[in-house]
Structure 1
Amino acid sequence: MKSYGSNYYWTKYSYGGAYSVETTAYALLAMLQFDEMGTATNIARWMTSRQTARGVFKSTQDTVVGLQALSEYSIRKYTPVEDLVVIPLNYRENYNYPVKNEKFQKLQLIDKLPVEKGDSTFKFLVTGTSGSGRMRIELRYNRPAKDDEMCPFDISNIDVDDVYKLPNDINIARLGNCDVCGRCADPTIIDYDLLTTEAPVTVIDYDLLTTDAPVDVNISSSFGRKKRQAQNDPVKNMKCIRFSVSALPDNEHGMSMIYFHLETDVTVLKEDMEKIIKENKNVDDFEMPTNGNGLVVFYLDTLTSHRNDFVFRLKDNFKGDKLSRQPASVDVFDYYDPDKYCRKMYGTGPNKGAAVDYKCNSNKLCKCLTSSCSVSVDAEILKMLKRRQKPAVKLIQYTCNPDKANFADIVKVKELLDDPDSKNKMAITEVTTSIHPGLRDHVQGDNLTFFWKSSCDFPKLQKDKQYLIIGKDGFRTQDANGNDTYLYSAMGSTLLIEPKGRIKSIIKVYKEWMKEKGCVHK
């Protein structure tokens, strides 16, 4: 038991959280059972201070138990005669609120209370012969979120990979420590920390698994030791999901939940869920629809800095255009404090589910980059060159960051248009050099249409000039004749650079590197 002034409450985690409310509600019921009305009043006072303006608490469970306890307390404390008058002394208008018998269970909203800087103390005068009441003032305001408030959990990248057939001999599969996706840890003792991309790699003796399997496959996994695939041929229409969840360092949460949402026409395998429950004692249970569609819910006993790994298979039955399918989310929250919440996006197809980029100014006002104008980076590139900060390397890193871009082309502007209906400017371009082909495999001669808001100061493209454009793949739409076409955004995180002056030599170095090595993802 803890005290806050003259009020009593019980807690294990954060003050005033759902766990505290539920535990304190049970304590209130116990005090009423033993006729400890003095202590019960102190407990009830604390509980009512934790209710929101709508009369509820943090979660469903603590609201049910909390309201039950407060109802029992109200029954025991019921006064048949109510005769009170409440007068706000520093309210800007003459106002008084009589509390009579017939208004015993009614709430009264007093709007436009003065909220000034400095002393904002509210004074009320209560007169009458008998009765009791409760008053609560709720003040709401917005402020920039702190880092641990934006995401109080550590959610790893949601790795999406192919699924491979397990060895037919289950004993060999166990020897190789193979997971449900057919990835097998090397049974030999190897110090994987000493391995580099150039160093020779010792692998499983694949002759034990199959006669035609390769012996030089090096597959990296998201966690634990590096793994190798059991066989070389991936299973059709199946994808493997790997991710981990933990609390931030020096943090601990009570019962927590993971909502793993599924993309359109994707189902999850029940046997994989059961295997997770069996192998991870911290995962108490799971829920999933009978047909496997929709989402999977995992219930975790606690969430600490200890990592909880999840590996399972998805069956992909989607028949449409992969680019048209929207990504899904993985949501993690503290059951007893749902405000502690975090989300990460993922995708099994070309849309990898990167979270929406945003940019904030000095006043902490933020907007999505999908609706913000792009900016020129020419001056920044020249400044980096002057400081010998290798701007070509920065362009390579930007190109190979899937959160920022997935294609890079040098294009020539063929035509500039204005679209009065959408208030966009448009540029019809022709690819002269494909540096990083993107999801649609751009090649020389392809026509790409870029758009940006007419209100944007940048880009200022000119006809017949060439530009290096690094950005994200476009989306499918239809032209005036009903033909499919793809539009590419020249806004947000898209880079548009004119190869001129000293920048031309930087782009040359960048092109040669990308042509020789491309994007190497470890």
Structure 2
Amino acid sequence: MVSKALQCLQKSSNTTDIYTQALLAYSFGLAGDMQLWSALLDSLAQYSTSSGGQLHWERKVKPLPGTESFWAQALSAEVEMTAYVLLAYLSPPKEATADLATASQIVRWLSKQQNPYGGFASTQDTVVALQALAKYAALTYSASGDMTVTVKSRGSFQQEFHVDNSNRLVLQQATLPEIPGEYTVTTRGQGCALVQLTLRYNLPPKSATTFDLRVETDPKECTGNARVHFSLILHARYSGGRSATNMAILEVKLPSGYLPDKKSVRKLEDKGLVKKLELSADEVILYLDQLTKEERTFTFIVEQDFPVENLKPATVRLYDYYETGEHTEAEYSAPCSSAPSTEKGNSR
């Protein structure tokens, strides 16, 4: 089975897509096919971006300005892609064949993209990047090492951090007294340490329209049995700079006191409209293979579980799983949200 899978991948090895090349290089490295592994890495080297002793890979088509996560140094897709290239360099079965010189340049770039909490722009790129960094750390591990890192300002500030085998995994930190300010970092001894400057401040998220999302209810007004059940209709399409999204996620919150009709939701999956779905008491999450410029409609039934007065609007969130900066939200109200109820309950 593995042999047939590799044969199938070999037929795709002439692709020019950088992300796919990175995945293939990693796969053939793990499989021990050094000829294809080397050819793919040679091809990837042509698309690399190098500066200041750092190496990374960028996507050919950028999202619209303002759609990237405001806390991220680099786009999620580029972090993930670069991490896969690093894994490819480190993947051959024999450690001696790993190109640690090139890998160290990639590690420098990846380390600079980490946010203050050690992660990256999204869950997906964080998982892959940490896997790659961990593999590099395992290959370069040495039981010996004793060093001191000194941070100085132009004024009187000076802080020393001692790193040895007993505390090499312990986070050491200090508050810089002057921001803005000029600081120097010096080291003495032997070993490896990551020094990161973290600025903690609040900024409003950047926004740009990359999705069109409309939410309707049927019926729209509080007529007939609308209090007991109604249909929720979601209209969604991609309007960003690419031809289509990666996997897209629709997170649908339900009004208080309402539950999704499981049978009607699962019909979306049966018809192939939805790749995967998750149901809970107050939320429906739809996983879509992708969204294009063509509008797609998703409809399911919502049923009342218990009556609630003065219902607040519920929200629907739509975003690209790999480019979380591309997102939008919409609100909707149950048809009978403002109508008086015969019973009292908790408000949302």
Q: TM-score, normalised by structure 2?
A: 0.68
- TM-superposed CA distance for 1:147, in Å, is 4.2
Partner of 2:56: 9
Cα deviation code 1:269-323 (max 9, x no counterpart): 3333333335565x3221214xxx32111112223433221222222233343x2
Q: Residue in 2 aligned with 1:99?
A: 163
CA contact (8 A) 2:159 2:174 kept: no
Letter in 1 for 2:49: S
Correspondent of 1:286 among 267, 277, 281: 277
User: Relative to structure 1, is the Cα distance of residues 278 and 9 closer, same or farther in structure 2, using a 3 angstrom cutoff?
Assistant: farther
Name stretches of at least 5 consecutive residues in structure 1 with no aligned partner: 164-231, 353-438, 441-475, 477-522
Report if aligned partners of 2:227, 2:336 keep a CA contact under 8 Å in 1: no
3-state SS, counterpart of residue 257 of structure 1: strand
More RCO (CA 8 Å, sep 6+): 2
Q: Once the 2 structures are TM-superposed, how far is the Cα of residue 235 of structure 1 from its aligned partner?
A: 7.5
In structure 1, the residue matched to 2:233 is 242
Task: Quote the Cα distance in structure 2 between the aligned partners of 1:249 and 1:256.
Answer: 13
Tell whether 2:260 aligns with 1:268. Answer: yes
Q: 1:258 aligns with which of 223, 233, 250?
A: 250
Q: Is it true that 1:277 corresponds to 2:277 in the alignment?
A: no
Aligned residue among 157, 161, 185 for 2:218: 161
- Matched residue, 1:33: 91
**Counterparts of 2:234 and 2:86, CA distance in 1:** 42
> What amino acid sits opposite 2:300 in the alignment?
F
Instruction: State how far apart, in whole Å, the 2-side matches of 1:233 and 1:96 are.
Output: 73
SS at match of 1:318: coil
The equivalences for 1:409-428 within 5 A come to none
Question: Is structure 2 residue 19 aligned with structure 1 residue 19?
Answer: no
Match of 2:114 among 25, 44, 51: 51
The superposition leaves residues 223-278 of structure 1 with CA deviations (integer Å, 9 ceiling, x where unpaired) of xxxxxxxxx97687221112212233435542221111122332223333333335
Q: What displacement does 1:81 show? A: 2.5
1:351 deviation in Å? 3.8
Question: Paired residue for 1:132?
Answer: 192
SS in 2 for 1:95: strand
Gaps of 5+ in 2: 1-43, 64-72, 93-97
Q: 1:337 to 1:122 in 2, by over 3 A?
A: farther
Greater fraction helix: 2
2:211–2:240 Cα contact (<8 Å) kept: no
Q: Matched residues in 1 for 2:326 and 2:300: separation?
A: 26
Closer, same or farther: CA 121–71 of 1 in aligned 2, 3 Å: same
Q: Secondary structure at the match of 2:232?
A: strand
Per the TM alignment, residue 37 of structure 1 is displaced from its structure 2 partner at its CA by 0.9
User: In 2, Cα distance between the equivalents of 1:249 and 1:27?
Assistant: 27
Give the partner amino acid of 1:22: E
Superposition map of 1:321-332 within 5 A? 321=309, 323=310, 325-332=311-318
- Pair 1:317-2:308 in alignment: no
Matches within 5 A, 1:299-310: 299-310=287-298
Q: What's the counterpart of residue 72 of structure 1?
A: 135
- Contact preservation (8 Å) 1:162, 1:234: no
Partner of residue 114, structure 1: 178
Q: Check whether the contact 2:74–2:113 (CA below 8 A) recurs between aligned residues.
A: yes
Aligned 8 A contact 2:256 2:308 in 1: no
The Cα of 1:93 is off from its aligned counterpart by 1.8
Counterpart Cα distance in 1 of 2:76 and 2:289: 15
The amino acid across from 2:158 in the alignment is N
Q: How much has 1:73 moved relative to structure 2?
A: 0.8
Residue 391 of structure 1 aligns with which residue?
Answer: none
Distance (whole Å) between structure 2 residues aligned to residue 127 and residue 311 of structure 1: 64
**What is the CA–CA distance in structure 2 between the aligned matches of 1:139 and 1:37, rounded to whole Å?**
31
Give the letter for the 1:284 counterpart.
K
Q: Secondary structure at the match of 2:287?
A: strand
**Size of the alignment, in residue pairs?**
275
**Does the Cα contact within 8 Å between 2:213 and 2:234 map onto a contact in 1?**
yes
Larger radius of gyration: 1
Work out whether 1:348 is the aligned partner of 2:340: no
Instruction: Determine the C-alpha separation between the residues in 1 that align with 2:219 and 2:134.
Output: 55
Kept after mapping to 1: 8 A contact 2:151/2:160? yes
Q: In structure 1, what residue type is equivalent to 2:235?
A: S
- Decide whether the 8 Å contact of 1:51 with 1:57 is kept in 2: yes
Residue equivalent to 2:31: none
Letter in 1 for 2:167: K
TM-score (norm. length: structure 1): 0.47
- Taking the TM superposition and a 5 Å limit, the aligned residue runs for 1:490-501 are none
Q: Which letter maps to 1:300?
A: L
For 2:236 and 2:315, the matched residues in 1 are separated by 14
The verdict on how the C-alpha distance between 1:123 and 1:265 changes in structure 2, with shifts beyond 3 A counting, is same
Distance in 1, matches of 2:158 and 2:182, equals 18
Going from structure 1 to structure 2, the CA distance change for 1:258 and 1:4 (only over 3 Å counts) comes to farther
Cα shift at 1:330 = 0.8
Q: What code does the residue aligned with 1:241 have? A: L
Q: Closer, same or farther in 2 for the Cα pair 1:10/1:347, shift >3 Å?
A: same
**Greater fraction strand:** 1
Query: What are the within-5 Å matches in structure 2 for residues 134-153 of structure 1?
Result: 134-148=194-208, 152-153=210-211
Percent of aligned pairs with the same amino acid:
26
Among 319, 322, 325, the residue aligned to 1:333: 319
> Which residue of structure 2 lines up, in the alignment, with residue 172 of structure 1?
none
Question: Structure 1 315/350 Cα, relative in aligned 2: closer, same or farther at 3 Å?
Answer: closer
